[in-house]
Structure 1
């Protein structure tokens, strides 16, 4: 019984401190969202230009987790994946629409949204939802985990 009575005040204190921390960082959220939006804008630009430097938007240990495929981790593997995608010529562009950003912004942020992929004629060929886990680095916010899936059956 004593463990329960000790646990409740500790849990309450931890919850209060967690909420206070989130509240303090909530005022930074618009600036953080703007920084992520700028990185997403750069992503679209690099993808459209078929530029392999797109991997610089990812952390060194990033993983891209596409549906129905093993995770692609690390910049070498990501570079190969983007180069192969560009060479296939079936996709001319991508677009992300951020719906929510979660987190206190100290070390990680989670972005939730929808995506579209376009063919050479600018037509949507697939769309769905995504989660990106962003990691704060000395060079700014970078994509640490990139998970997406289609809204359509295969």
Structure 2
């Protein structure tokens, strides 16, 4: 399976879990234990606990659904990949809340890629 296929499948799984409200499983399954989560208008969140707090906060403020579109995926080394693309976040009623771009650096841990650096920047 190509890096592109693996990363795209990870995004689909992340969106599925976020949209279903299963934030704890999303963080545990998809994020590196030493990850950094950097979003617009907020300080860096460190580790899985920081990502959990950030994503739970987003979910609680009616940011119900996320859609991620990868635009460029490639490997840097055999155990590292980068992923650049765009995102849309929706409210419970289906209206768009935010549109932006992202960059994720993935690290392979025990045979599975996990998000290590996750940077989101709003276009607004």
TM-score between both structures, scaled by the size of structure 2: 0.91
Write 1 or 2 for the structure with the bigger share of strand.
2
Match for residue 46 of structure 2 among 57, 73, 79 = 73
**Is the 8 Å Cα contact of residues 106 and 116 (structure 2) preserved in structure 1?**
yes
SS in 1 for 2:99: strand
Report which structure shows greater RCO (CA 8 Å, sep ≥6): 2
**Ranges of 4+ aligned residues in structure 1 off by more than 4 Å:** none
* Residue in structure 1 matched with residue 114 of structure 2 by the alignment: 142
Post-superposition CA distance 1:1-28 (Å, at most 9, x none): xxxxxxxxxxxxxxxxxxxxxxxxxxxx
- The aligned counterpart of 2:3 is 32
SS, match of residue 42 in structure 2 = coil
Question: Any residues of structure 2 matched to 1:54-65 within 5 Å, and which?
Answer: 54-56=26-28, 57-65=30-38
Alpha-carbon deviation of 1:77? 1.8
CA distance in 1, matches of 2:49, 2:55: 10
2:79 aligned with 1:99: no
Q: Shift of the alpha carbon at 1:100? A: 0.5
List gaps (5 residues or longer) in structure 2. none
User: Do the aligned residues in 1 keep the contact of 2:3 with 2:74 (CA within 8 Å)?
Assistant: no
SS in 2 for 1:96: strand
Q: Give the number of the structure whose alpha-carbon radius of gyration is greater.
A: 1
Aligned residues: 122
- Say which SS state the counterpart of residue 46 (structure 1) adopts: helix
Question: What is the CA deviation profile of residues 25-49 of structure 1, one whole-angstrom value per residue up to 9, with x for unaligned ones?
Answer: xxxxx71111111110110111011
| Cα shift readout 1:92-125 (whole Å, capped 9, x = no counterpart) | 1111110001324512111010100001111211
TM-score (norm 1): 0.74
CA drift at 1:82: 2.2
Answer yes or no: is 1:87 the counterpart of 2:42: no
Per-residue deviation at 1:139? 4.5
Which range moved further: 97-106 or 53-62?
97-106
